[in-house]
Amino acid sequence: MSQPKLFSNIRTASLGFPRIGKQRELKKATESFWKGGLSAAGLFDVAKKIRRENWERQKGAGIDIIPSNDFSLYDQMLDMSCLLGAVPDRFEFKGETVDLDTYFAMARGGSVARDAKGPSSVTAMEMSKWFDTNYHYIVPELKKDQAFRIAGTKVFDEFREARELGIQTRPVLIGPLTYLLLGKCQGEPFDVLQLLDGLVEVYIAILKRLSGEGAQSVQLDEPILVTDTQPAHREALIRAYKRIAVEVPNLKVTLATYFEAVTEPAKLLESIPVAGWHVDGVRSFAQIPEFLNHLPKDKEISLGVVEGRNVWITDLEATVCRLRKALDKEVTRPITIASSCSLIHVPVDLDQETALDKEIRSWMAFASQKLDEIRWIASALREGDGAVQKELENNRMALNSRAQSPRVRVAAVRERMAAVAPKDFSRQKPREERLSLQKEALGLPPYPTTTIGSFPQTPEVRKMRLKFKKREIDSAEYEKFLEQQIADAVERQTGLGLDVLVHGEFERNDMVEYFGEQLDGFVFTQNGWVQSYGSRCVKPPVIYGDVSRPQAMTVRWFRYAQGLTQRIMKGMLTGPVTILQWSFVRNDQERSETAFQIGLAIRDEVADLEKAGARIIQIDEAAFREGLPLKQSGWADYLQWAVKAFRLSCSVADAKTQIHTHMCYSEFNDIIEAISDMDADVISIECSRSRMELLEAFRQFRYPGEIGPGVYDIHSPRVPSREEIERLLHKAMEGIPAERLWVNPDCGLKTRGWAETTPSLEAMVEAAKNLRALKPAER
């Protein structure tokens, strides 16, 4: 048997590493800073320690190209806006560099003080999902006469910081095209490409300064290239990078793409004068041969073959075999082995999971372990399989264990799936008939007020949950405490005058994790945290096998809460697509199959809630749009099964039972028909940061259900005024019939405190009452 070809020109790279810290040190420090318990210097010290640990961890793992500026106190797009001086006017920024208070005000809203007039209250910048992930970024606000300049030093400071530790890094920046196309025009509409030339001037100045600091290379992230970009976008990209190559010839630029295959890459590869490209070989290994065919032979290719978005181990032998075949004719080209994307989307270190089931643990890899996988693949290509023989054997054993485990495929679940019939995807009556029946049965006033589900998870709530997990208190004491919290929440809501109440979800650590803990086919980690936005971290469940519901999950708490009041109490569930999207999902079957399994489990819960007396049941699909493929060619298939999964979960409900759903920050225009096809009776959406602009899609489509546009931003500690909420509601009524309008916050309130929640809801309820008092012609 002939020996495999060896490749001497192999390096390893990391595109980014989790910045939250092994024990969420950044979250704790940031929130302490916001509350006044930690100084800015103290926050910076924690951040510096995390960066050092990350760099040293990557260096110790044998990674050749280590990133800097992948760290952020809140969000990398917000960092980029600050670096470029793109601070919206309302923040009254006039300094040389963006200060910390302005930075966090842009992210969270709040008060800014610039002159003798004292502080003024400002709204935060809008958030949106980062492509098809559960990470949220701060959307750049761009105006027609937008001026850019260097207004931050972070990227330079962190490069020097690493160099002082003896580590040469490759700074990471969001590329100019991605930055512009993910931005949002303010004021009169215009083509954001008009801003490109001025923007590139500042990029050139940044890159020149980095080169002067001693940087040898830089990573410019352009994930926008994997979407359906237009020819004008690609021409603009070519023009921009040609300018950069002329102006900064001594700095090697790697153009990084990820999350999908690059759209129409041939001309880009032949025309853009960069040192190399990074491609996602996990989402699309098929694009690698095309890149190798069109990319000039002296250009480096970085192959993202270790999954950066999921926790399953890489099939090392299969990956090495595919790479050898693809690279067979590559003799001189520089080649880099890397993760598919930044590792911020996976937890930090599997070694912390000492309590995790040993068999399932052997199937998994977190960020630290993925660094090892990158090194092992590179070693096999460079030195042969013998160099990593033990690692390959262990990997093979783990893969075989997973493939053969009876825990993964469950006969009863598969039999039930096979029995699903077309009737299981439809409600008993059409929506118009249902809404009429529900209006009579529920007897709610115009502009009914409610909340999205959760109430503040106070330090006391978190403390008691931790005590229960540590078995310092028994279940009887813990449940008594939860009942007290629910009773308090019901009393507060009644006092506020809310029309439809919720129990507050104090028993839930997370809207997905809570359900996963009670479903078969899921496993949970102790420290598997990932960043969702800012200081908000989530611990996604891991779906390793077939999913089913052994027993009721929410009925006990619904019954207790409803027993405390004569007002309507909502049953609160998370939908199948959101549970899927916000979990680490098994990769050995189609995602649609797993979504339907979850849909059946939620269907059983809907039936049990209805039997317990629930007249309104909310099934949150916050991540519905997030799962949309990045290319429109894949939309129809996804939307078909995603809609069916939701309908499967709720079609068992009686026509008089009102089904609500909730969706987070999204652009709804292009999927509004699918949202309507979900056949929910009421939908609530996050809307306040966009100032009701997101409602336009519902207005144009003439959405047939009822709508609750969020009237205030729960991601900000800022308390809205009644007048502000009334203005938003009047704006909403320009496109939504008054009789179909609900009044609610943007999202759940678990991250807020009662000190902000109570006055915010008071203002919201008062605004609704004022609208009810108006004559129809005045509304």
Q: Count Cβ neighbours within 10 Å for each residue of 352-386 and write b for 16 or more, e otherwise.
A: bbeebeeebbbbbbbbbbbbbbbbbbbbbbbeebe
In this prediction, residues 618-640 reach a mean pLDDT of: 94
Tens digits of per-residue pLDDT, 187-198? 889 999 999 999
User: Residue 6 — very low, low, confident or very high, per pLDDT cuts 50/70/90?
Assistant: very high
**pLDDT for 165:** 98
**pLDDT for 36:** 96
In this prediction, residues 730-758 reach a mean pLDDT of: 89
- Cβ partners under 8 Å of residue 375, min gap 6: 12, 61, 62, 63
Q: Which residue has the higher pLDDT, 172 or 623?
A: 172
- 715 catalytic residue (yes or no): yes
Write down the residue that tokens 């309302």 correspond to. Answer: 90
3-state SS of 689-722 is CCCCHHHHHHHHHCCCCEEEEECCCCCCCCCCCH
Segment holding 279, helix H or strand E: strand 276-280
**pLDDT for 665:** 58
Residue 427: C-alpha distances to residues 2, 432, 643 (Å): 63, 12, 13
Tokens of 419: 């029995």
Burial of 69 (0-12, 13-18, 19+ CB in 10 A): buried
Tens digits of per-residue pLDDT, 364-395? 999 999 999 999 999 999 999 999 999 999 99
* Of residues 410, 380, 261, the one with CA closest to residue 314: 380
- Cβ partners under 8 Å of residue 205, min gap 6: 150
* Of residues 166, 175, 272, the one with CA closest to residue 214: 166
Average pLDDT, the chain: 94
Tokens of 69: 């500026």
Query: In the 8-state DSSP scheme, what is residue 18?
Result: -
**Distance in angstroms (rounded) separating the CA atoms of residues 391 and 563:** 58
Strands (E) in 317-440, as ranges, are: 335-339
CA pseudo-torsion sign 174, 179, 181, 182 = positive
Asked whether residue 286 carries a pLDDT value surpassing 60, the answer given is: yes
Give strand pairing partners of 683: 661, 707
Asked whether residue 575 carries a pLDDT value surpassing 50, the answer given is: yes
Asked whether residue 25 carries a pLDDT value surpassing 90, the answer given is: yes
User: Residue 709 — very low, low, confident or very high, per pLDDT cuts 50/70/90?
Assistant: confident
**pLDDT for 733:** 86
Tens digits of per-residue pLDDT, 467-482? 998 999 999 999 999 9
**pLDDT for 697:** 73
Tens digits of per-residue pLDDT, 45-97? 999 999 999 999 999 999 999 999 999 999 999 999 999 999 999 999 989 99
Residue 103: C-alpha distances to residues 52, 86, 123, 136 (Å): 23, 11, 13, 16
Looking at 10-19, 118-127, 203-212, 704-713, which range is the least confident one? 118-127
User: Residue 779 — very low, low, confident or very high, per pLDDT cuts 50/70/90?
Assistant: low
User: Residue 734 — very low, low, confident or very high, per pLDDT cuts 50/70/90?
Assistant: confident
**Distance in angstroms (rounded) separating the CA atoms of residues 91 and 121:** 9
The rounded percent of the chain whose pLDDT value lies above 70 is 97
Which residue type does 22 have? K
Asked whether residue 19 carries a pLDDT value surpassing 70, the answer given is: yes
**pLDDT for 116:** 44
Asked whether residue 269 carries a pLDDT value surpassing 90, the answer given is: yes
**Distance in angstroms (rounded) separating the CA atoms of residues 33 and 41:** 10
**pLDDT for 641:** 98
CB 281 within 8 A of CB 336: no
3-state SS of 165-213 is CCCCEEEEEECHHHHHHCCEECCCCCCHHHHHHHHHHHHHHHHHHHHHH
In this prediction, residues 33-45 reach a mean pLDDT of: 97
562 half-sphere exposure, CB direction, 13 A CA radius: 20
**Distance in angstroms (rounded) separating the CA atoms of residues 265 and 262:** 6
Catalytic residue, chosen from 136, 278, 715, 730, is: 715
Asked whether residue 119 carries a pLDDT value surpassing 70, the answer given is: no
Tokens of 523: 């496993």
Asked whether residue 1 carries a pLDDT value surpassing 80, the answer given is: no
